[in-house]
Amino acid sequence: DDTLQLFFLCAHPVLTPAAAVALTLRAVGGLTTRQIAQAYLLPEKTMAQRISRAKRAVRDVRFDAPGDLSTVRRVLYLVFNEGYTG
């Protein structure tokens, strides 16, 4: 499934867990940068920079290196909570 591959790409080991979660919430979860920044209690500009850096970091990454399963689980939980409470 393409969505699952995207989840694992966004949780790639080259990213910090915070960057991976932010990128996944944006790319897969469909949350806005503002929503993610509010969840992290950060300025929107700071979060936009974090997401941009994460995108650059995985731009040329191959799918043969699996992502971190705990990061994928954390993002699934956050997306569920946002959908449930949002």
Residue 55 confidence (pLDDT):
92
Q: Place 52 in a pLDDT band, splitting at 50, 70 and 90.
A: very high
For residue 77, give its domain range: 2-85
The Cα 35–Cα 86 span in angstroms is 10
Percent of the chain past pLDDT 70, that is, above it, reads: 90
Residue 66's pLDDT is 64
Structure tokens at 83: 């959908």
Contact status, residue 11 vs residue 66, Cβ threshold 8 Å: no
Q: How many domains in the chain?
A: 1
- pTM of this structure: 0.77
Provide the pLDDT for residue 68. 72
What interhelical angle do 17-27 and 2-10 show, nearest 10?
150
Q: Token match 């966004």: residue? A: 10
Can you read off the two tokens belonging to residue 28?
Answer: 């897969």
Q: Is the pLDDT of residue 62 over 90?
A: no
